[in-house]
Structure 1
Amino acid sequence: MFGQSTVVSAVISATALLVGLLAIKKIAIGRLQHISRKTQTDLDDLVIDSINRIGWPVYVVVPILVAAQQLRLSGTIRSVLEASALIILVFYAVYAFQYLLVRLLHRLLRFHQSQGQQVDQTVTGFLELAVRILLWGLAVIVVLQNLGFNVTALLGGLGIAGLAVGIALQNVLVDVFSFFSIYFDKPFETGDFIVIGDEAGTVERVGLKSTRIRTLQGQELVMSNAELTSKHIHNYRHLKKRRVVMEFGVTYQTPVNQLKKVPETVAKIVEGIDHIELGRIHLKALADANLTYELVYFVLNNEYDVYMDAQQQLNLRLLEKFAQHKIEFAYPTQTIHLEK
């Protein structure tokens, strides 16, 4: 049995400690709020919110432990109290720290968005999940170790199980790691027009395992991230100038003075079309069936439709101008000479 004076002393100590802890919390939060009003950053607000998430059980369990020490409770009761206190303290510590990390993660992602970078919501969700799993996993290990369990054996068992799962999910894990390679290296982003081998389209979504591309034909193409990262990718998002090489031939019957006018005529045609600029135009070769001209021009837009519109206007105006100047385009012909 405990003496009356011992019980009273324990209660007084526990009450004083409880009041002291609550006072310290109030003073600390008040001081931080005063500082936060003078700063432009919201980091101090995050710290205040994290402290506020530490619940009342923390402020109760610490005084109870102090009182238990003074009362010199039996081993079993004290062990139960210490275990309960450990679980409560670790829980609220992880809970507050998790809140702080997740909010910092959101802040970092918002910063990237403000810089014009696209942030996939899949990445945000996955990183949040990874933070929670890591913190709570460490919390469970700390609690079990302090409760006397053999954590080394447990970790060894988990390692073997993880290895088995890793082998079973090898292809999935390769795709997941490829996703992070795509996310950090950024060979393409959502909305980019890309060409992979014989396939071309606009990236609609980059997921953990696969990427979805809307092709020019309209169907959705689903490719694994591992397959994407193993191929050559042509990304047209950063295309400033599209270089186009075009060849056309005229007949050998065309007079030389007309041939000399072709570069000037073509140059004027190119200058009259929006979104393109002339590179060069030359009589390239005296081929077997035609006189070959080579035209190089640049499309000042990365949109494929703009390029095709410009190409169409160029072709039509070439046909129109050459008809006016009576310059004939060459086409495959065969002349047979008969000898008597």
Structure 2
Amino acid sequence: MIFSFLQSDTEQKVDSLKQEVARPLDQVTDKVMTWWDTFIDMVPNMFVSVILFLIFLLLAKAGQKLFVKVFNRSSNNQALENLFSTIIYYAILGLGLFIILGILKLDKAVTSLLAGVGVIGLALGFAFQDIAANFVSGIMLAFRKPFAIGDIVKLSDFMGTVSRTNLRVTVVETWQGQEVYIPNKDVLSSPIVNYSILGERRIDLAVGVSYADSLEQVQEIIEKTLKGLEGVIRHDDMIFTYYEFGDSSINFEIKFWIKYPKNPSYLEMRSKAIKAIKKAFDEEGITIPFPIRTLDFGIKGGQTLSEMQIHQAGNSPS
């Protein structure tokens, strides 16, 4: 009797254990069956979604090509073309994705995803604000076009030729042969000096002549010499001015224009002008004086070294 009781109790425990094991298995089975039924119901929608995805993929490529074709008619900026064509491509794909997710009844998932993307985007915006500033500045520079590739410019104290530019940096090749990568936000916030955009540049030369020379003759020689020099333009806009009485010369400044940056270069043209002026002065007997200093050896002033020697010689004992 005791044995029967123990056997009955053991069977009850086994049955209870089977029920506890069977319950989660039944739940999993029911869930899998529900998913399967849902999948079967969604097969037509999934088929439509695949078709829509292919259609929007073709539309995105067609829209990108159409934009590039239209954009090239008004601008040749490669950076802007790549930027906006990419934006249009993914914008069309994004629109198709939202429609497809709606067909698949995943609207709530899209809402949660957008909320998460917004938070992540805000965090990244603070973390990469310098990169974002350079990116926006690059777009503004592309639209404003203060310089083009090959222009001679001065940007942030660096002077040279613009070799290339993108939406993050502007690259300037200096006269010393180095490439300088200047962030676009610094380019946009600093003065931009473009020496190529007008195609002309003025050279200013300062010279001094002797007090004994005729100032009218000097001006006539300078103007005649520079006007006859190849490469000088805008002869009527040449400016000649005397501006000071120097220690040993009367100083003047001549300002004349050349084509720039065409050959001859600015430095070469300035050198040619200096040599031509020196040659003309030599032929006409015009003097460019050396600096003169008068030494005074007297205690109270007004005595030269020779006078002091004579005075000392007269007072010396015989």
**Category of TM-score, reference length = shorter chain:** 0.7 to 0.9
Which of 147, 163, 167 is the aligned partner of 2:104?
Answer: 147
Asked if structure 1 preserves the Cα contact closer than 8 Å seen for 2:209 and 2:288, the reply is yes
Asked if structure 1 preserves the Cα contact closer than 8 Å seen for 2:164 and 2:171, the reply is yes
Higher mean C-alpha deviation, range 279-288 or range 219-228 = 279-288
| TM-score, structure 1 normalization | 0.69
**Whole-angstrom distance in 1 between the partners of 2:184 and 2:225:** 45
Post-superposition shift, 1:183? 0.8
Asked if structure 2 preserves the Cα contact closer than 8 Å seen for 1:194 and 1:235, the reply is yes
Matches within 5 A, 1:221-260: 221-254=180-213, 258-260=214-216
- Per the alignment, residue 102 of structure 1 pairs with 64
Asked if structure 1 preserves the Cα contact closer than 8 Å seen for 2:168 and 2:184, the reply is yes
**Whole-angstrom distance in 2 between the partners of 1:335 and 1:307:** 39
**Whole-angstrom distance in 2 between the partners of 1:294 and 1:163:** 59
Q: Where does structure 1 lack aligned partners over 5 or more consecutive residues?
A: 1-73
- Asked if residue 169 in structure 1 is aligned to residue 131 in structure 2, the reply is no
- Per the alignment, residue 264 of structure 1 pairs with 220
Match for 1:268: what amino acid? K
- Asked if residue 311 in structure 1 is aligned to residue 273 in structure 2, the reply is no
Change (3 A) 1:304 1:229: farther
Of the two, which has the highest radius of gyration? 2
Which of 91, 95, 102 is the aligned partner of 1:134?
Answer: 91
| TM-score, structure 2 normalization | 0.74
Change (3 A) 1:164 1:304: farther
Match for 1:139: what amino acid? G
Post-superposition shift, 1:245? 2.4
Asked if structure 2 preserves the Cα contact closer than 8 Å seen for 1:273 and 1:310, the reply is no
**Whole-angstrom distance in 2 between the partners of 1:331 and 1:90:** 87
Identity %: 24
**Whole-angstrom distance in 1 between the partners of 2:208 and 2:126:** 61
**Whole-angstrom distance in 2 between the partners of 1:291 and 1:299:** 26
Asked if structure 2 preserves the Cα contact closer than 8 Å seen for 1:285 and 1:293, the reply is yes
Which of 285, 289, 293 is the aligned partner of 1:326?
Answer: 285
- Per the alignment, residue 145 of structure 2 pairs with 186
- Per the alignment, residue 7 of structure 2 pairs with none
Change (3 A) 1:181 1:142: same
| Aligned length, in residue pairs | 258
Post-superposition shift, 1:216? 0.6
- Per the alignment, residue 123 of structure 1 pairs with 80
Match for 1:201: what amino acid? G
Match for 1:93: what amino acid? I
List per-residue Cα deviations over 1:203-261 (Å, max 9, x = no partner): 1111222222111111111111112111111012212331222221112233xxx3321
Which of 248, 253, 269 is the aligned partner of 1:289?
Answer: 248
Match for 2:54: what amino acid? Y
Match of 1:336, SS state, is coil
Q: Where does structure 2 lack aligned partners over 5 or more consecutive residues?
A: 1-36, 297-301, 308-318
Post-superposition shift, 1:164? 1.6
Structure 1 vs Structure 2 CA RMSD: 2.3
**Whole-angstrom distance in 2 between the partners of 1:148 and 1:118:** 44
List per-residue Cα deviations over 1:284-334 (Å, max 9, x = no partner): 333343212221211133348522222112111111111122211133221
Match for 1:209: what amino acid? R
Asked if structure 1 preserves the Cα contact closer than 8 Å seen for 2:60 and 2:90, the reply is no
Q: Point out 4+ residue stretches in structure 1 off by more than 6 angstroms.
A: none
- Per the alignment, residue 69 of structure 1 pairs with none
- Asked if residue 200 in structure 1 is aligned to residue 162 in structure 2, the reply is no
